[in-house]
Amino acid sequence: MKNRFFAGMAPVAALSMSLFASSALADITIGVTISSTGPGAALGIPLKNSVELWPTEVGGEKLKVIVLDDAGDPSIATTNARRFVNDDKVDVLVGSALTPASIAVAGVAAESSTPHLGCSPVPPNISKGKWTFIMPQDAGLIAKNLFAKMKADGAKTVGYIGFSDSYGDLWMGQFKAIGEQYGLKVIADERYARPDTSVSGQVLKLVAARPDAVFVGASGTGAALPQIGLRERGFTGKIYQTHGAVTFDFLRIAGKAADNTIFASGPAMAPEALPDTAETKPEGMAYVTAYEKKFGPGTRTQFGPHINDAMAILKKAIPVALKKAKPGTPEFRAALRDAIETGGPFPASQGVFNFKADDHLGLDDRAVVLFTAKNGKFEITK
């Protein structure tokens, strides 16, 4: 079997990953930019690993997959995306792992009229673009489920702490948009940078505000920093985390400080616990089984399945586009975009995608489960 993975060296210290070598060129080219180093590595590495589980061909056409590291830097992500569309003539862009980098890729996708499957939450203005489709559960869907849980738990006042970037802004935006519908009032808003090693000052201000609950708008292992700080400073109220924190690394780093925290997640973190009637279970079980066979038990994350779901969509959309045009052409890229937008529903591991012209998020409540952390494990919240 001929392999189809290629990689190159991106400028500005971006690292590339060469998965396999091949002398034959593939017919369908996919450019993947992922934050596999830097502050977003905990998110990006599972995505990079999941690319290795992709098929070698779709619709009878071989795949050429080029993977570059953007280190979570929007400028490097832009450089990678421009290389993909200008030099590699890709048919579709995938990535990145971090919101700022995904926003950058979406900009290149729009400029070049190239379909883009984003692998991190983005602001509404990005998801409303013509060429970008979002794989993760959007912030509004996650927030709705978490806010409803906060209300059910009796919380009325909330302290917020999140990244000082577009990801942190995303969740504060949800409080402003729908928080009042759930009787929630934000009484403290603190931020920190992804590379920070201490949030003592911010935590002290949060504890002093005496909120009923704290909501953390962060991702990866960086989300454990305020979690640990809050417990060390004696905060005993409920803490709520987004799907960006759902990793076993988070539980390992936070330790006992993570106990009783509520997390929103996609169903692919625990497909075994889903009823057999769940539409996400077949794809979720197939992905988790393949991933943990290759990378070891307990290595699944919330993030890796987004790459799986991108391919689940492409496997259905590419054959449709091939009927209209040949890969490597603007006509094929346009046909592929149309097939993604109109070809649903796409049952996948993290939800059932059903995109529309005015909805490039495409997910509903089937894409969200709530977990409680207990003794180093995620347990589905009843």
Helix (H) or strand (E) holding 33: strand 28-34
Residue that the structure tokens 């934000």 belong to: 186
Residues 6 or more apart from 317 whose CB is under 8 A from it?
336, 339, 340, 343
Query: Going residue by residue through the chain (382 aa), what tens digit of pLDDT does each one get?
Result: 444 455 444 443 333 443 433 333 448 999 999 999 998 888 899 999 999 999 999 999 999 999 999 999 999 999 999 999 999 999 999 999 998 999 999 999 999 999 999 999 888 889 889 999 999 998 899 999 999 999 999 999 999 999 999 889 999 999 999 999 999 999 999 999 999 999 999 999 999 999 999 999 998 889 999 999 999 999 999 999 999 898 888 999 999 999 999 999 999 999 998 889 999 999 999 999 999 999 999 899 889 999 999 999 999 999 999 999 999 999 999 999 999 999 999 999 999 999 999 999 999 999 999 999 999 889 888 6
pLDDT score for 57 = 95
CA distance 76 to 25: 26
Residue that the structure tokens 């996650």 belong to: 142
Alpha-helix runs per DSSP H in the chain: 41-51, 74-86, 99-112, 124-127, 139-152, 166-178, 200-209, 224-232, 248-254, 281-295, 304-322, 330-342
Q: What are phi and psi of 191, to 5 degrees?
A: -135, 160
Residues 6 or more apart from 17 whose CB is under 8 A from it?
7, 36, 48, 67, 68, 69
Domains of the chain in start order, with CATH, are 5-137+285-350 (3.40.50.2300), 139-265+368-380 (3.40.50.2300)
CB atoms within 10 A of CB 234: 7
The residues pairing with 34 across neighbouring beta strands, listed in sequence order, are 69
Closest alpha carbon to 103 in 82, 67, 85, 127: 127
Q: Is 207 left (phi over 0), alpha (psi -120 to 50) or beta?
A: alpha
- Is the distance from CB of 168 to CB of 225 less than 8 angstroms? no
pLDDT score for 22 = 39
CA distance 164 to 179: 20
pLDDT score for 121 = 86
CA distance 117 to 90: 13
pLDDT score for 249 = 87
Closest alpha carbon to 94 in 63, 59, 125, 62: 63
- Is the distance from CB of 300 to CB of 291 less than 8 angstroms? yes
CA distance 88 to 298: 36
- Is the distance from CB of 225 to CB of 148 less than 8 angstroms? no
pLDDT score for 382 = 66
Per DSSP, the three-state class of 117 is strand
